[in-house]
Amino acid sequence: MTERQVREQECQIARYRRLEREVTDPLAACLLHGIVEDLEAELRRDRPDWHDQRD
């Protein structure tokens, strides 16, 4: 994964996290959480040096 792809993936993760916080439907929040976990796992698999930088 290139540095650009990593940055794009991190932006996508941030967008899904923001949506997860804003959504009011519990099912939607659960699905968004699963998406975030999958994207983070993909980054960790492709870039072992990547670490979660949650605020």
With beta carbons less than 8 A apart as the criterion, state whether 17 and 36 touch. yes
Beta-carbon neighbour count of residue 37 at 10 Å? 12
- pTM for the full predicted model: 0.79
What is residue 16's predicted lDDT score, i.e. its pLDDT? 96
Return d(Cα 26, Cα 45) in angstroms, integer. Answer: 28
* Tokens 């975030």, residue located: 36
Whole-angstrom CA distances from 41 to 1, 14, 24, 26, 30 are: 13, 14, 25, 22, 16
What are the boundaries of each domain within the chain?
3-46
What is residue 55's predicted lDDT score, i.e. its pLDDT? 45
pLDDT in tens, 1-55: 788 988 999 999 999 999 999 999 999 999 999 999 999 999 988 887 766 655 4
